[in-house]
Structure 1
Amino acid sequence: MVKVPFDVDAYTARLIGRENVSKLEGAIIELVKNAYDADASKCIIYFDDVTKTLILADNGVGMTEDIIMNNWMTIGRSSKKQHFMSKEGRIQTGAKGIGRFALDRISNSVHMLTANQNNTLEWIIDWEEFSDDKKISETYAELYESNLSILEFIRGVSNNSIFESIIDNQFRSTGSIFIMSNLREEWNEKVLKNIRKSLSLMIPPTMEQIFEIYLFDNRINEKEAYIKSEHEDSYDYKIDFRTIEDDAKVEIMIHRNEFDFRGKILDVMRNGRFTKSDEEYFGDKPIVLVKHLNELVSKDYENVVMEIGGFQGSLYFFKNSTTKMDTQKYYYKDFTGRKQLNEKFGGIKIYRDNFWVRPYGERESSNYDWLLLSNRKGKSPAAVSHATGAWRVNADQMYGQIYISRLNLHLEDQSNREGIVESIQFKAFREILVNIIKQFEEDRQYVIRKLRSLYEQEHEAEKLERELKEKIKEQEKRDAQNRTRKKKSEKDGRSYKKVEETPEEQIPLSKIKPVVAQKDSAIEVLTNENKMLRAMATTGISINTYFHEITTLINDLHEELYEVQASLENKNISEAIEGVKQASKYSNKFQQWYEVTVKSVKSDKRTRKKWEIDLLIEALCASWQSVLTSERVDIQFIGTDEGLLYRCFPFEIESVVNNLISNSISAFDSVCQQYNRKILVELKKLNKGFKIIYSDKGPGLPDKYKKNPREILIPLETGKTDGTGLGMWIVDTIVKDYNGEVNLSKNSLQKGFRVEVSFE
């Protein structure tokens, strides 16, 4: 038997590095991290536009021959795996032993000088040695002792005297410096700008005191080259948090910074019924809460929260905009001139050992909203001043920093340095952070609601308006009574006594009615906008429910057009004609989906007038049937015999039917059992309106709604794992606007689903 050792193709080893350091900014950051791990206080990056050379220097401890031979030159091996605490007490960021391939990502050739306490070494490598016709054991780098100083090493390459002066003054004893030539891409102003931005976002504000980064070119000075961490003190709320007591609890400190009572704080506190503690919280004193980790997670994660490890952070909330009225009503501070902070800083970032873990919080990436705050907002869209709803912050209103370290063993980086492994511990970590944010949401909602009540108490005009409306109704009632009395008396030939107003009841209607009418007009505009938003929400639900079908249809259409193009290029006219016919079918199908979803909110359906309800609903049912096969659903419509005219916004009637049909199809598709996929939509005329009797033969309501079916009308209440909980709430809200009723009583016992929707 012969024992045969494994070997690795040299180019394969090179590819491992490129897979893990794929972007230029990422390569620079890896080298900066190495400088931090070496206990450097300064790291300088310098691009020379004359020699087209990149220099990266740090004044850290340098490398010894032993470290270069046994760690630096061994792929996948790092001295930081076992000894991850530096002499200066820094927890080191690297451990995978592949960060050195960042050099390969930047240039073809690298010349390094490293000075430790004992000697100075030079190391030279040509990455082209890692070719595809060599084994890793056949590739070499040069290593030898050197008598050069760091300043002597860069002379002839640098053309910036300020850069050389810093090297001469602060890089005299130990450190490492890399000269990279034959750069793989052109370094221009745009590249330098992107790297500068990445570096400023990479480090938190606390880092600047111990680790300074500079980015030079030929022309700029030290002040211009200095990389300053991006930070902003203009915020409305700040949430500081940290784990305590063996990482079993979290201390949360909430800072109110949103309000300016303009010298009236004592009056506001008293009249707004705030507590004595609130008065201090509106000053500089933070609200301090201590929560056990198990209080901040669901039962699914209770067994793993202690495996997360210690963490801390600071999150900031800021308003994007406000109105003059709200500023007055809620005593908001003036934030004129404050920029969109999320555009400047991104979102909520994770820092491991003081370095950003990309792409969390990175704008225009899928992980910008990695806490899914926008999803929460979508499920609970209530305004912060809403009397009963739960206000939720949106992702574009938050930014901040969360700090973890390599000691958080169960929050491990992915091998490609693009985020953290989606372990159960990481999911629990996210849930904890969301519930920390919830503590702030509850406090802000508490404050705003009290300020709103105070405003309503202090502004008698609004109260008077309500009283005037009541008095107008009473006066109109008396006028009607007098007219009736007069007619009756004249008929009987008798005189009648007029019902007179008391002095308190007499109102100059000529002055009051226009004011009230103007107010009612404004309310009607807002109401109509709300109706439109409900219809658009229904459209969104429909599109989301059938996104797969619509996407497949679009892809089929594109592929068919590509085939037509290929046929024409090959001058195969008959195939091209057949392809055009098929593409036309796909186009017609897409037009049918358009009829069901988007067309319902076209301008011609946003006019309130008398509509033929039979034709409206029949056409809608036909459109649904046209886009779905009979195997998927069988929709039957039964109209009235004589037709039915009804004054309405047609898009609202369609929203009701669309939501009901979407729910039925989702119910059919959610179960393995085969049901009769039949939907019956029946229309009946009432004395002052009409009734839609809707039923299907599907699985019916989930068991938890059998006892009280009306629970499905509550906003955000859903029996589907991927449901929004908005569909039936929209149905109920629309019907209430028409003084109608949604009757779900038949769902308590029977199979399938049945609802009677009356419009009065």
Structure 2
Amino acid sequence: MEQLKYIIEDSTIAELLGVQNFTNDESAVLELVKNSYDAKATFITLCFEGNQFIITDDGIGMNVDDIKRHWMHVGKSSKEYEVIDENNNVRVLAGSKGIGRFALSRLGRNIEICSKKFGSVGVVWSTDWNSSLLSEDESLNECGTKISIGNLREKWSKKRVENLADFISKTYNDSLMKIEISHPGFTKVIERYFPMPQLGKNCLSNIQLKFNSDKCVLTTIVQSDEFLDKAKRYCPQIDINKFRAETDMIDEFKASKELDLSMEELEEKLKKLGNFSAEMYFNINSTSIEMEKFLYKYSSLPEPLKGGIILYRNAFSISAYEGKKDWLGLGKRSRKSPAAASHPTGAWRVRENQLAGKVEIDKKTNVVLQDLSNRQGLNENIYYQLFVEIILTGLKEFERYRQAIVRLIDVKNNVEPDNNPTPVSDKVVSNPATVSKLTSIEAKQLAVEIKSYRKESYEYKREKANVEERYKYDVRILNVLATTGLKASSIAHEMRNDRNSIAANSENIIRALQEYDMWDELLAPDKTEKAYKNVPHLIKSNSEVSAKIVAFMNTMLSEMEKKQFEATWQSITDLLNKTKNIWERDYAWVSITLQLEEDVCFLMSEDILRVIFDNLILNSIQQNENMDHINISIIAREENGLIYFVYFDNGKGLDKKYNSNPRKILEVHETTRKDGHGLGMWIVNNTIVMSGGEIIRINGENGFSIEFSVGGKM
């Protein structure tokens, strides 16, 4: 048999692997810079002169053998993981696929390479992408490589070269090779894009992430200088300058519907992912009103870091992740949850224009994060999904930390001042003629009041916009739940007249079979040994299901009544007893104990307590469905115009992922159950806050407990 090899035209290879393979010219230039770095160059120049682009480096160069065996062998790379350069510095090689040289084709139609390797005669290789020529040149004395690209495919203006310099600055993450770029009238030495960040100068907060794949743990460290020192009095239990959290990623992801992995698969893939780190810089501009309201330290920074989040693999970024692409999906996250940081229940999300920084991975350690064939991106496989979700988990820790501070500071803005003197403006409004009779002190006071009213008007407009934005997401979620409830209620109303027959059908069938002398025969061992033929068992199962259907119908028919949303004087004892009786009726394995000092009457609508306790009890049932019996206790007392409740059960408590911060369960869509929606505790918190109360503490050890207050605002 004859062995055959493909024969491909040079021009076709140049078109496919060069012109069409690179998304833009800047990425092609970067590929050539990487080649110089891999060749141990310590200095490289990129020079644009007319219709020519010349790249010169002082690397190890090439000889005839290198050109024939490596340069002309498409798809073959002689590069290992790392090399040691002339200064004994270790460099992790950027290339590996053996096609980067075709970046030359993207840039120009005529190429000449002059190269000299130590101990060898210099060589000259040239091509017009139809044919290639190779010759020796003994006049070449200095080691290194010079690439002349002629007949450029695009015009390189001064502005475009300046943009290229910025691009390389962002994509080059090392200092072992000096890069200089020039154009007529313009020369620049490329510097690393991200300096050592200074709080208060470059960023408000510095967020560091470190993922340990052996332990599957993410460490998040935040250093912040965003708030004035006086903010500390409102945040006695929070360090407003430092924060640290360690997150077990197996616990964090085990209920994820998006990942759809078993615990074993999840742990295996997290370990294979490998260690990596990230450093991000948060910055936001503030108005004078916001600074006063939230005790911000700066309105703006002198040298804020920008440029998005850049993904570096060792010395260079991956081209499609150099900061322009929102590859972490920060914009989508903030649009899905648009709540302000001061929102009492909604989750604030950092915007993409508020964050800059870098994520660093390694060619060997993170080998499962695979380059696409054109090296213009990553294969977005399951490892990439895990990688992104780990980074977003670290950002969530920062978001929770910052939002907790803002919420505590915002409390002061809701306190109304007492003993205000009668405004001078009231006198003027009631009798405009008094303006001319005002004393100098009153005139100054009037001016102050007018300024204050203008400020209040401006704040009102801003607050109105914030409130509208704040409730957009809340309304979307509640609309979905309400629509589902209305559909279920409609079905329940249609079946209202069928309730009695549904409940009694099983007993009627048994009596009929007994009357026909068939029941005893159906109980015989030979008739009951197979489950699908065991009629008594099937009837019993059907009876249990029917009871649940009837309970569901009763619930739906009673809970949508209009009167429940009207505020009236309510007996707290009666409301809680009603809730207790319904749940104990529908769930025989649940016992609810009520402890009230005395019967309290409170002006509120019935739905408030029903929504709160229905969700709490449902959570207790769903989290402990494998228990034979669950005991729930509810304690209530009235104090200072509020009702204080303590709710606890004897179940397994919260998942260990919430040990360090139990309040995470209040976030929307937060759940550890694969089939859970994560809305129950969010609804509880939302209802409590909107009533004028607050959640005081949550504990998930030795059962679940929550202490909260409820007001009468709703």
TM-score in terms of structure 2 length? 0.57
1:443-485: CA deviations, max 9, x gaps?
A: 21232233334x45xx97x2428999xxxxxxxxxxxxxxxxx
- Does residue 309 (structure 1) correspond to residue 266 (structure 2)? The answer is no
Partner of residue 75, structure 1: 74
2: CA distance, partners of 1:519 / 1:220: 49
Q: CA deviation at 1:33?
A: 0.7
Corresponding residue of 1:213: 179
| 1:675-690 correspondence runs (5 A) | none
Gaps of 5+ in 1: 130-138, 150-172, 469-512, 543-654, 669-685, 691-705, 738-759
Structure 1 partner of 2:418: 464
For the residues of structure 1 that align with 2:349 and 2:165, how far apart are their CA atoms? 34
* Partner SS for 1:358: strand
Residue 323 of structure 2 is matched in structure 1 by 362
* CA deviation vs aligned residue, 1:605-639 (integer Å, no higher than 9, x gap): xxxxxxxxxxxxxxxxxxxxxxxxxxxxxxxxxxx
Code of the aligned partner of 2:157: N
Structure 1 pair 725–127 and aligned structure 2 pair: CA distance change class (3 A): farther
Amino acid at match of 1:302: E
CA contact (8 A) 1:120 1:146 kept: yes
Aligned residue in 2 for 1:128 = 129
Residues 347-401 of structure 1, C-alpha deviations (whole Å, 9 max, x = no match): 21111112111322533xxx32x22223333333332223333322122211110
The match for 2:205 is: 237
Question: 1:308-333 deviations in whole A, cap 9, x for unaligned?
Answer: 112112111111x3232331243322
Match of 2:149 among 170, 177, 180: 180
2:451 and 2:83 mapped to 1: Cα distance?
Answer: 73
SS in 2 for 1:28: helix
Name the structure 2 match of 1:287. 243
Q: Cα deviation per residue 1:386-422 (whole Å; 9 max; x = unaligned)?
A: 3333322122211110011211111011112221101
CA contact (8 A) 1:347 1:395 kept: yes
Structure 1 counterpart of 2:156, which letter?
W
Residues 135-154 of structure 1 aligned to structure 2 (within 5 Å): 139-149=131-141
Structure 2 residue identity aligned to 1:63: M
Conservation of the 8 A alpha-carbon contact between 1:241 and 1:312: yes
Amino acid at match of 1:348: I
Q: What is aligned with 1:201? A: 170
Higher deviation after alignment, 398-407 or 526-535 = 526-535
Contact persistence 1:385–1:448 (CA under 8 A): yes
For residues 202-252 of structure 1, give each alpha carbon's deviation from its aligned partner in whole angstroms, at most 9, with x where no partner exists: 123xx2x3222111123335xx34455255642111112234485743333
Partner SS state of residue 105, structure 2: helix
Aligned to 1:432: 390
Flag the 1:524–1:69 CA change in 2: closer, same or farther, 3 A.
closer
Q: Is 1:423 matched up with 2:381?
A: yes
Q: Amino acid of the residue matched to residue 361 of structure 2?
A: I
Structure 2 counterpart of 1:297: 253
Aligned-partner Cα distance in 2 for 1:17–1:662: 57
Q: Greater strand percent: which structure? A: 2
Which residue of 2 is the match for residue 496 of structure 1? Answer: none
Counterpart of 1:311, as a letter, is F
Residue type at the aligned position of 2:16: I
CA deviation after TM superposition for structure 1 residue 97, in Å: 0.6
Amino acid at match of 2:243: I
Q: Distance in 2 between matches of 1:444 and 1:184?
A: 50
Q: Quick one: structure 1 residues 4 and 191, their matched pair in 2 at CA, closer, same or farther if it must change by over 3 Å?
A: same
> What does the per-residue CA deviation read over 1:632-684, in whole Å, with 9 as the maximum and x for residues that have no partner?
xxxxxxxxxxxxxxxxxxxxxxx98999599979x99xxxxxxxxxxxxxxxx
Tell me if 1:353 matches 2:322: no
Q: Structure 1's 422 and 663: CA in aligned 2 closer, same or farther, altered over 3 A? A: farther
Change (3 A) 1:337 1:517: closer
The secondary structure found in structure 1 opposite 2:310 is strand
Describe how 1:723-738 pairs up with structure 2 within 5 A: none
- Which stretches in structure 2 are left out of the alignment for 5+ residues? 256-260, 423-448, 492-561, 567-585, 588-609, 619-665, 692-713
Structure 2 counterpart SS, 1:360: strand
SS at match of 2:300: coil
Q: What is the letter of the counterpart of residue 374 of structure 1?
A: G
How has the CA–CA distance of structure 1 residues 538 and 374 changed in structure 2, closer, same or farther, with 3 Å as cutoff? same
SS in 2 for 1:305: helix
Structure 1 counterpart of 2:371:
413
Give, as a single letter, the amino acid of the residue that structure 2 aligns with 1:188: S
Range with greater deviation from structure 2 (193-202 or 24-33) = 193-202
**Would the aligned equivalents of 2:338 and 2:470 in 1 still touch at CA under 8 Å?**
no
Does the CA contact (< 8 Å) of 1:249 and 1:290 recur in 2?
yes
Question: Could you say if the C-alpha distance between residues 425 and 128 of structure 1 is closer, same or farther in structure 2, counting changes exceeding 3 Å?
Answer: closer
Asked if the contact 2:31–2:100 (Cα under 8 Å) also holds between the matched residues in 1, the reply is yes
Which amino acid counterpart does residue 55 of structure 1 have in structure 2? I
The 8 Å contact of residues 357 and 419 in structure 1, kept in 2 or not, is answered as yes
Given that residues 241 and 251 in structure 1 are in contact (C-alpha distance below 8 angstroms), is that contact kept between their aligned partners in structure 2?
A: yes
From the superposition, tell whether residues 378 and 84 of structure 1 become closer, same or farther in structure 2 (CA, over 3 Å). Answer: same
Per-residue CA deviation, residues 157-190 of structure 1 (Å, 9 max, x unaligned), is xxxxxxxxxxxxxxxx432111122222222223
C-alpha distance in 2 between matches for 1:523 and 1:331: 16
C-alpha distance in structure 1 between counterparts of 2:399 and 2:275, whole Å: 24
Deviations 1:674-730 (A, max 9, x none): xxxxxxxxxxxx99x99xxxxxxxxxxxxxxx9999879x99569999x9999x99x
Structure 1's 117 and 664: CA in aligned 2 closer, same or farther, altered over 3 A? farther
* Residue in 2 that maps onto 1:447: 405
What CA distance in whole angstroms lies between the structure 2 residues aligned with 1:126 and 1:395? 45
Counterpart for residue 10 of structure 1 = 10
Aligned to 2:56: 57
Counterparts of 1:109 and 1:528, CA distance in 2: 63
- Alpha carbons 1:379, 1:716 under 8 Å: kept: no
Separation of aligned partners in 1, 2:667 and 2:393: 21
Contact 1:465 1:516 in 2 (8 A): no
Question: 2:311, 2:294 → 1: CA distance?
Answer: 33
Shift of 1:537: 7.6
Q: SS of the residue aligned with 1:322? A: coil
Counterpart AA for 1:16? L
User: CA contact under 8 A between 1:371 and 1:430: conserved in structure 2?
Assistant: yes
1:328 aligns to 2:296 (yes or no): no
Match of 2:338 among 360, 381, 389: 381
C-alpha contact (below 8 Å) 1:237/1:256 kept by paired residues: yes
Partner of 1:33: 34
Change (3 A) 1:423 1:140: same
Instruction: Give distance in 2, aligned partners of 1:355 and 1:523.
Output: 47
1:318 and 1:40 map into 2 onto residues whose CA distance is 37
Are 1:253 and 2:221 matched, yes or no?
yes
Q: Give, as a single letter, the amino acid of the residue that structure 2 aligns with 1:14.
A: A
CA shift at 1:432, angstroms?
0.6
Aligned to 2:90: 89
Letter in 2 for 1:127: D
Matched, 1:272 2:272: no
Amino acid paired to 1:392:
R
Structure-2 separation of matches of 1:227 and 1:70: 35
Q: Which amino acid aligns with 1:274?
A: P
